[in-house]
Amino acid sequence: MPYLTTASKIDQIVAEYTKAKTLWIDTEVADYNSRNPRLSLIQVLDDPEDMSGDRVFLLDVLDQPDLVANFIQQIMVNPDIEKVFHHASYDVKFLGDKKARNITCTLEIAKKIPYYLLPVPNYQLKTLATVLCNFHYIDKQAQTSDWGQRPLTEEQIDYAYLDCIYLAQVHKCLLELQSEGDPAPEAEDLIALNLRYTQIEEQWKLLNSEVEHLQERIKKAMQAQNVSETSFFKLTAYERKTVKAQFLELARLVQSQGLNFDFSITLTQKLQKDLGGNLEQLSVEIDTSNSWRLTPKNQESNSENE
């Protein structure tokens, strides 16, 4: 894991990265809990197969805004290079923010995968690396260490390059899971899908009804017994308010005050009926959309009817 500290070497590797198709990137930030966080390291991996760390370059950019600006200009805004991060929005804040293009976020991919395909307690990179890629003994202690100090400790360096490797591996596994979980509808086997559905439907009903029932009972019991917290649940009450006004009064106010206050409201079927013929005097906008409904058929009663 080459650790680059000089401007010339960093600019040189950045120039090489402009030819890359995909880069796996992570950053470390100093003073993250202050008003002025400083970018400390940019770690870049250009070969996802590399597990040795030889292809992870650590760019030391602490208090080097010119180097960061160059990285943003050459890499981040370039739409032809895919940049992969975990929780991209955090890192991208420091790397060009809204100007950044072609960003992939492994956190977002992971969260979109249905729970039963990826049953994890949380979506931290460490957890995903452990569950998906069988990495063990991941030490996250360095994460909150002082990234503003120089020289960095050996642990910090190890942590920094390992994170990139986890990232690329997690990304690879996520893409595989994603393609499994998202088959082309044209190619789906409807018989198999229906079979699987009927297989688990009964268990689902049993479990679902019991979970809901338990929630209700726990809620009522905690209220009745004045318990706001157990080791499993927290019960909180909150006030909801809805502010309402009479339509006529509002209309008059807007008119008399000459307020710039206009928007469309949905004319429900009831309102349309109440308006009757007067409706024709309004220039209504009509939105049409199609939606599809899946209705399970009751197999037993069907056969009875026949």
Q: Does 241 bind DNA (CB under 7 A)?
A: yes
One-letter amino acid identity for 24? W
End-to-end CA distance of the chain: 73
Smallest separation, CB 176 to DNA (Å): 20
Positive or negative CA dihedral for 127, 114, 112, 81? positive
Q: Which of 144, 179, 257, 260 binds DNA (CB under 7 A)?
A: 144
Q: Does 108 bind DNA (CB under 7 A)?
A: yes
String of contacts with DNA for each residue 284-303, x by CB under 7 A = -------x-xxx--------
Question: Kind of pairing, strands 103-105 and 82-85?
Answer: parallel
Q: Does 124 bind DNA (CB under 7 A)?
A: yes
Question: Kind of pairing, strands 22-30 and 3-4?
Answer: unpaired
User: What is the C-alpha separation between 61 and 5, in angstroms, rounded?
Assistant: 8
Smallest separation, CB 122 to DNA (Å): 3
User: Which 175-214 positions form the footprint of DNA (CB under 7 A)?
Assistant: none
Kindly list the strands in the beta sheet with 38-45, ordered across the sheet, starting from the edge strand earlier in the chain.
Answer: 3-4, 56-60, 38-45, 22-30, 82-85, 103-105
Q: Does 73 bind DNA (CB under 7 A)?
A: no
Rounded to the nearest 10 degrees, what angle do helices 125-133 and 154-180 cross at?
60
DSSP-assigned beta bridge partners for residue 38 = 30
Q: Does 217 bind DNA (CB under 7 A)?
A: no
**Number of residues engaging DNA in binding (CB under 7 A):** 41
Smallest separation, CB 147 to DNA (Å): 5
236 vs 260, which CB is nearer to DNA? 236
Residue numbers at the binding site for DNA (CB under 7 A):
26-29, 32-33, 35, 40, 86-87, 89-90, 107-108, 111, 122-127, 143-144, 147, 163, 215, 219, 234, 236, 238-242, 268-270, 291, 293-295
